[in-house]
Amino acid sequence: MSRIVNPVLPGFHPDPSILRAGDWYYLANSTFEWYPGVELHRSRDLARWESLPSPLAEKRLLDMEGERSSCGVWAPCLSYGGGLFWLVYTNVRTWNAGPWKDCSNYLTWAPSIEGPWADPVYLGSSGFDPSLFHDDDGSLWLLNMEWDYRQREDPEGAQFSGILLRRYSPEERKCTGPVKKIFTGSPISCVEGPHLYKREGWYYLLTAEGGTVYGHAATVARSRSIEGPYEVHPHNPLISSRGRPEHPLQKAGHGSWCESPGGRTYLAYLCGRPLPGTRYCVLGRETAIAELVWHDGWPYVKGEDGGRQNYPALRFDSPGPPEESSPPPKAPAEEGGQGAEAPGDMKAAPGEGRRVYTFTGKALHGDFKTLRSPADPLRYSLTARPGYLRLRGGQSPVSPYGQTLLARRQEHFSFNAETCLECNPASFQELAGLCWRYDERNHYLLALTWDENRGRVLSILSMRAGHFSREDGPAVPEGPVYLGLEVREHRGIFRYSGDGRTFSDTGPALDSGILSDEYDSLGFTGAFVGIFCIDTSRYEAEADFAYLSYEPVETSR
């Protein structure tokens, strides 16, 4: 039997929605401004997860161009009913502009988890974190939290004014009937992230509360009627890290649950792991699993000793795969589709140490993310120079429009990253290289660029809470340049080489902590490492990259 070791999806994997359909468990996570907005994984034992193509990987399904950092897709909900997979999600346009939030909710569906997914149906914008509940009489119900902009000066959490319920008609493709506010939350406050379940005649409402920070929690309430009133769990919260500052998994909250074929209940929830000795969660909000046990009609987290608790368990036995299971459906990733891992694309699978992403396949590897829009072949070309990825210069690293940047999430406190770059910048406005970033206000770039007096040079460009600085580096001769990043928990340093064997450090030590939700103003993502090309003059400069490697490093801690 497999062991579940938390987090099961390390690095930036927030807002998990878990579903079991047939022999498979599925997880949906939001990616905010990082395209493709929603990521899917599947597993047969809840311990080992494999990536699936995103349901929103086309611009007709999701367009986030121009959205600010930590906007984009929030908290998707994946469900199954009537022979269809359903996905409901929010595309947040603004969230931190005075008292306002512009958060449009959409629904799409498909006959298979691989698609094809229908054009999204607009559901309304009264609040965010929508979910779809399938009642046992076949009716469909939309839930979302309500945002009350008027309560700006009221006590903390008052803008989170409650959970709304409305019937959805699949025939009319719209919500129908009256809107009912069914729950206003517990004293923890900031009620959001609703999911509804039915068990033994009770409707169970699972919500997130406490804000997605260190006081985060998941709350459970129940009612005999779908419209309430709902009574709160007598030992609420269901799960939280509140009051346990030494626990490795902090921020536990926002989640959803499902049942195994054997009737056991499992909760997927988000958590964060701070850098040792700090409150900075540079890996972002991650996905963890807990088994729930039922007592007197209420769920509890099952502890590693088998007892009941309301805080995360680090490891426990998985339910294992069903004894007899159908073969897995063939995913488009195996056929070279969007986000596919084409042959030769990576020399080591995730979890097997150093990962070398090459560019010999027909599509970019699914680990890679772009900002706000899918990778346009005119700006991300795998064919212009076979064996290389050619990037065409985009807008500056602070722009919410048209950046040319390809990155993967940081999953470990300590790691090495490396790339090989060929380009010939002709101006200081042309730059290409290696990035380590959180968002437009907080990032580090090691850039190959041009200086009128020194020729090709390396420069370190940094943004810290929106304040720019530049550190001039060495001049480099013509030919390929190898760029590296060495991160050891709290600090990172850029490196370079002319031959790919002997590297030299360049620039000062870089503070990891700025690449976290807790630094600067509140955000919701995590640290990424990747490659970029900038041309603020004509958007025409080109840079060729031979590979990108990512290698986790064990520390003595």
pLDDT for the residue 522: 87
Whether 192 is catalytic: yes
Residue among 33, 192, 418, 542 flagged as catalytic: 192
Kindly provide the b/e burial profile for residues 197-218, where b requires at least 16 CB atoms within 10 angstroms of the residue's own CB.
beeeeebbbbbbbbbbbbbbbb
Residue 331: what pLDDT?
34
Q: 359 in helix, strand or coil?
A: strand
Domain boundaries defined on the chain: 14-239, 341-552
According to DSSP, residue 249 is labeled S
User: Which pLDDT score, from 0 to 100, does residue 199 have?
Assistant: 97
Query: Which residues, 6+ apart, have CB-to-CB distance to 437 below 8 Å?
Result: 397, 407, 443, 444, 445, 515, 527, 528, 529, 530
Span between the terminal Cα atoms of the chain, in Å: 29
pLDDT values of the chain reduced to their tens digit, one per residue, 557 residues: 689 999 999 999 999 999 999 999 999 999 999 999 999 999 999 999 999 999 999 999 999 999 999 999 999 999 999 999 999 999 999 998 889 999 999 999 999 999 999 999 999 999 999 999 999 999 999 999 999 999 876 677 899 999 999 999 999 999 999 999 999 999 999 999 999 999 999 999 999 999 999 999 999 999 999 999 999 999 999 999 999 999 999 999 999 999 999 999 999 999 999 999 999 999 999 999 999 999 999 999 999 999 999 999 999 998 988 754 444 333 333 333 333 334 346 654 444 689 999 999 999 999 999 999 999 999 999 999 999 999 999 999 999 999 999 999 999 999 999 999 999 999 999 999 999 999 999 999 999 999 999 999 999 999 999 999 999 999 999 999 999 999 999 999 999 999 999 999 999 999 999 999 999 988 999 999 999 999 999 999 999 999 999 999 987 54
Instruction: Supply the pTM of this predicted model.
Output: 0.94
pLDDT, residue 243, reads: 95
pLDDT per position as a tens digit, 146-183: 999 998 766 778 999 999 999 999 999 999 999 999 99
Reduce the DSSP state of residue 151 to 3 states and report it: helix
pLDDT of residue 153: 66
Report pLDDT for 1.
65
Check residue 556 and give its pLDDT.
Answer: 54
424 membership: H or E segment, kind and range: none
Active site residue 430: no
The domain defined by 341-552 folds into Jelly Rolls (2.60.120)
Backbone angles phi and psi of 25, in degrees to 5:
-95, 140
Question: How would you class 318 by CB atoms within 10 Å of its CB: exposed for 0-12, middle for 13-18, buried for 19 or more?
Answer: buried
Report pLDDT digits (tens) over 91-106: 999 998 889 999 999 9
For domain 14-239, give the CATH superfamily: Glycosyl hydrolase domain; family 43 (2.115.10.20)
Query: How far, in Å, CA of 293 to CA of 295, rounded?
Result: 7
Long-range contacts of the stretch 292-295 (C-beta < 8 A, 24+): 292/238, 292/257, 292/265, 292/266, 292/267, 293/265, 294/265
Can you give the pLDDT at residue 280? 98
| 468: its two tokens | 């720019």
